[in-house]
Each structure stands twice: as C-alpha cells, then as structure tokens.
Amino acid sequence: MDQTKDEKLIARDPEITWEDEESLARDTYNGAKALLDVLEQEGVELIFGYPGGSLLALYDALLDSSIRHILPRHEQSAVHAADAYARVSGKVGVCLATSGPGAANMVTGIANAYMDSIPVVILTGQVSTHLLGTDSFQEVDITGITMPITKHSYLVKDARDIPRIVKEAFYIAGTGRPGPVLIDLPKNIMAADASDSYPSKVALKSYKFFTKGNAGQIAEAAKALAQSKKPVVYAGGGVITSRAEKGLRDLIEKANIPVVTTLMGIGSLPSTHPNHLGMVGMHGTITANLAIDECDLLLAIGVRFDDRVTSGLKHRFATKAKVIHIDIDPAEIGKVIRANIPIVGDAKLVLEEFLLKASPPEIDPWWMKLRAWQKQYPLGYEPDGHLNPQMILEAMGKLSPEDTIVVTDVGQHQMWAAQFYPVTRAKQFITSAGLGTMGFGLPAAIGAQFAEPDNLVFLVTGDGSLQMSIHELATAVQYALPIKIILMNNGVLGMVRQMQKVLFNERFSQIQLDANPDFVKLADAYGIKGLRVDSPEQIEYALKTAIETKGPFIVDFTISPDEVVLPFVPAGQGITEILEGEK
Ligand SMILES: Cc1ncc(C[n+]2csc(CCOP(=O)(O)OP(=O)(O)O)c2C)c(N)n1
C-alpha cells in the first residue's frame, strides 16, 4: 500500500486534527522547510527564538538546517538580541516566537527596533488559517498589534508564497530607512506543501527609496556652508546606518566644522576628535547645546530632531540657523523642524557629493567662541573620594582594547556611559535610544557578542534594568558568552529618582529597590564569576580581573543613589536652560 497516499487521505478526514496532519506532513517539502531554505539563502546564520505549539513543524525542520538557533529565556530578549546583532554586524537580525503569548512578548522588542531604525525580521507562529479570528488557543492578531511599530508585515496564507515573502521582508527591513518586518506563520501553512523556488529579485512597485541626493540641493547646501559664519553638524544614527562616517569625517575636516551627535550618532566621529563638541540634548554637553542655539547653519545628517534633543520646543531650537536636513526617509524632512534645504538620500552618497562641492567657510571667531565654552563648561565631575560612576567608565576606556563594544541598559548609567566612555568607532556603542527600554542591555549584549565573538563586550547596566532581563544570565552561560557586566548598583531607579529630586522637590516615590539580591551570589548560582567593588582603589583590579577571566563576569559597583547625571536640560525647557548643578 502507498503509505504517503494513505496518510494524505487520512489527513483529509475531518476527524483528523491539524496536529496529526502536521506530523504526517513531516516528510514532505513543507512550509517550514521552505522557510529555513530561504533564510539560508538570505545568508542567515543565527536565529534567536523560543519554541511553542504553533511552531512544531518549524522546530522539527530546524534540526536538519544549517542555521544555528539560540534559545534566550524570554521572547522579548530574542528581539533585543537580534536587534543588537543587526546593529553590530550590519546584517538583518532574525528572531522567532510562537503564537499568542510568545508573539505578544516580542512587542516591546519590536518597538525598540522600530524607534532606532534597526533591520530585524520577526517570525511569529500563528494559529492555523481556519482558526483565525475565532479566539482559538494562543491566538493574537500580532500583525494588527504591531502595525504601527513595523515597517511592514505579512500574514502568510499560502505556503508557496514563503520564498517571495521572505525575500521581500529582508529587502524591506534592510534597505532605505531600515526597520523591523514581521512575518506571521500559521501552523497549517508551516505543514503544507511548499515551493522551493527562490526568487532572484524583489519586485515591489509600491516600495521606493532615494539613494542619490538631488545635485542642485547639494550644491545649494555647499554654497550655504561656504557662506556661513557659525556652522554646526548635527549627526545621528543615520550616519552609522549608511556607513557615512568617513564621508562625515572628510567633510568636517575639509571645512573644519564642529560636530555634535545624538545618542544614536555616538561613534559617527571618534569622541576624541578635536571637532567633536559632544552629545547634544538632555544630557549633552553645554557647548554642544549652546552651539546649536547659536549656530547660523545646522547641517543635520541622519537625525530626526527627537524631543530628547529639541526638548520638544521646535520654536526655540536652532532659531538663528538655516537648516540643511539630509535623510533617506522623506517623511522625516519637515516632520519636526522646517528644513531650508532638504536633501533626501543616503547619507554616505550625499556626503561624498557634498565633499566635492564644499569649500571651507571663514569661521575662526566661531571656533574661538566654541573653545571658550568648552573651557568654561568642561564635561567632568568632582571625584569625592567615593566610587563615582564616571571613574568606572573612564577606567573601562583606559583598560579595554579599541575594538571593544559597549552595550548599555537604560537609566543614569546609560547617560554616564554615553558621556564618559571614549567611543572611537561606529557600531561600538549599542544602546536603546528612541524607546529607552530597560531590560534591553543583557540580551543586546548577547546579540552583540554573537556578532563579534572575539571582541570584548561590556554591558553597562543598573540594578533596575538588569532585573528586567536577569534570566538571560542563563543564556550567556549556555552559549559561553564572555560578556563583562558592569553593574552600577545604587539600590534605586536612579534616573527617575534624579528627576524626582530635581523636578519634584525630592518627593521620592516608588524608586527604592529594597529587596535587591546579592548580584554576585546570584550570578554565582548561574555559574558566573563576579566581584563586588565599593571604593575607587578597587576599580582597576576588578576591571582587569573581569577582562582576564574566561567567560562571563559581573562587577557589582556600589554607587551612591545621590549621584546625578549632569548636565541636565529638563524636558520642556529650552536647550540653553541647562542645569549644571551641584550633586
Ligand atoms: C521598561 C521600562 N520601564 C520603565 C522605564 C522608566 N525608567 C527610565 S530610567 C528608569 C530607572 C532605571 O534604573 P536602573 O536600571 O537601576 O538605572 P539607574 O538609573 O539607577 O542607573 C526607569 C524606571 C523605562 N525606561 N523602561
């Protein structure tokens, strides 16, 4: 008897469940196998995922695939890890979760990638097509839920569409302004007969992006630069995404113009470059903020005039300046600040063209003013004999090799890292900027370490943030990832406490983390070595020990809850209303 035929007959019997049909389909070339084949052809080496009932066929097929599957301990972590992997490797990150709770757990991670324009393909299991819309077990409408936080999404209804959809998803995620693309995969589609034809090209009529900027607008911008007396470059994450660091450096060195960066733009120019005035915005340097306020020409490259920079006060931001805005996403032009000279295009290509046309403006008096501000308002801190967080970051910079990657969580520690770690290159400083997601750090450090297995990866975190993804210590151990965790342990939700202290007259509300574990002991329970440090003299020894110890390591630095991040421009105040303040 023809067994396969018989199985097919049985599978059509209404009494036979989809589960039975799925296991009968295991031997055929099904949607799951087609999916993995096309992912392989897209060059995917790693998937961060978490299994479940809707993905049984896919996890079965994974056993025969060359793709390596990494199992974090939470689906949110799978997205953060894929996100950081993409930020560091420059490839599209891939993550996977089952239907319902698995997919829903990914929402914060997807929003995080969306806000920072990171290319991630998210694969979610879904209930079988005949159950869609029936509130069936573990059903959520994940394409609906994530509509505003994805660049695009697909619900696959025919297994034969899988190769085309995957090809399109990678193309959309990784081109133009990058972002997350979700593919929802119903259970029966994963088990259904599929096609192994892989399209060589993407044909998407409705998806277009500009790469080359308009030559006339670039010429106009170069003319404006040559005539300006007080120009400033405002560089963002777009510079790094388009790998325009060299173009930026060539331009600002040729024309000798000062540069400020956003949080996402850290690394677009080495922090030690003489033209670098530091980060701009809420916790930026005073000089960077005064420069924006005073400049007559603002050359904004790959930025979105985020309210962390503008304080949400567009009528008070760079009011004396002619604005040149270079961005690949036309929707960003004029969204917040009106651009006098808009240039839609890829920053790298635009800057190459700009360089050819640029001539240096006469700006010696401007530089004298900037240098005077830098002298008057240096970014520093007063060592007070205690363990100041800034010291730790300076020591990390001194002791770590140049190819080190620094991943941060969210809070005061993030801002101290942005201010005091000497970042020398693009893709070295990985942080959750737009969404500000506590709990991003540890899974992101995992993704970063997978992207660059031979480089030192530091995670700078806080006791609040770390506890939002502490379970990922197990993942670091399981995959022998030698991440060095630098914990700034102040016993409080420091950044919120700081705002309550400064803006709410020290009326502290719900910021005390009273039942913190002993983090060194906790790490030890996972098999991770660690040290606790509470005085400045121990910093160097602890960091050296962490770096030299094989495998993951935690240094638990006890810092005072009274430490504050300065300067501080409170939200809703003009960027010149900077609190320098005393601690
Ligand atoms: C998921 C999430 N919840 C809440 C917040 C609001 N928030 C921003 S910073 C912060 C405190 C962070 O505390 P910790 O990680 O200990 O870092 P610290 O500021 O003390 O350095 C909070 C609660 C957030 N950013 N993300």
Give the per-residue pLDDT at 12: 44
Question: 382-386: which pairs have CB atoms within 8 A and are 24 or more residues apart?
Answer: 382/583, 383/536, 384/583, 385/536, 386/535, 386/536, 386/559, 386/560
Annotated catalytic, 279? no
Separation of alpha carbons 514 and 500, rounded Å: 18
Q: What is the mean pLDDT of residues 539-562?
A: 98
Work out the mean pLDDT of the chain and round it to a whole number.
Answer: 94
Answer with the residue of higher pLDDT: 190 or 576: 190
Give the per-residue pLDDT at 555: 98
Please state, for a pLDDT cut of 70, what percent of the chain lies above it: 95
Structure tokens at 283: 């916790």
Annotated catalytic, 22? no
The pLDDT tens digits of the residues spanning 245-260 come to 999 999 999 999 999 9
Report the 10 Å Cβ neighbour count for 353. Answer: 20
- Residues in the ligand 1 pocket, defined by CB under 6 Å: 409-413, 436-439, 462-465, 488, 490, 492-496
- Torsion of the alpha carbons at 47, 50, 55 and 60, rounded to the nearest 10: 70
Give the per-residue pLDDT at 569: 83
Give the per-residue pLDDT at 2: 42
Q: Provide the b/e sequence for 449-487 (b: ≥16 CB within 10 Å).
A: bbbbeebbbbbbbbbbbbbbbbebbebbeebebbbbbbb
Annotated catalytic, 354? no
Catalytic residue (choose from 106, 279, 282, 495): 495
Give the per-residue pLDDT at 4: 44
Lowest-pLDDT range of 33-37, 316-320, 505-509: 316-320
Separation of alpha carbons 178 and 151, rounded Å: 8
Residue 460 · residue 414 · CB < 8 Å: yes
Separation of alpha carbons 284 and 183, rounded Å: 38
Give the per-residue pLDDT at 253: 98
Q: Please tell me the pTM assigned to this model.
A: 0.95
How would residue 445 be classed by pLDDT, with cut points 50, 70 and 90? very high
Q: What is the mean pLDDT of residues 197-202?
A: 86
The pLDDT tens digits of the residues spanning 389-436 come to 999 999 999 999 999 999 999 999 999 999 999 999 999 999 999 999
Catalytic residue (choose from 21, 75, 245, 563): 75
Annotated catalytic, 157? no
DSSP strand E in 451-490: where?
457-462, 484-489
DSSP string, 113-131: HHHTT--EEEEEEE--GGG
Give the per-residue pLDDT at 13: 45
Catalytic residue (choose from 19, 41, 137, 398): 137
Residue 205 has phi, psi (to 5 degrees) of: -65, -35
Separation of alpha carbons 328 and 350, rounded Å: 10
CA of 536 to the centre of ligand 1 (A): 25
Residue 387 · residue 534 · CB < 8 Å: yes
How would residue 340 be classed by pLDDT, with cut points 50, 70 and 90? very high
How would residue 197 be classed by pLDDT, with cut points 50, 70 and 90? confident
Pairing of strands 259-261, 231-235: parallel
Lowest-pLDDT range of 49-58, 165-174, 193-202: 193-202
Give the per-residue pLDDT at 310: 87
Answer with the residue of higher pLDDT: 19 or 539: 539
How would residue 210 be classed by pLDDT, with cut points 50, 70 and 90? confident
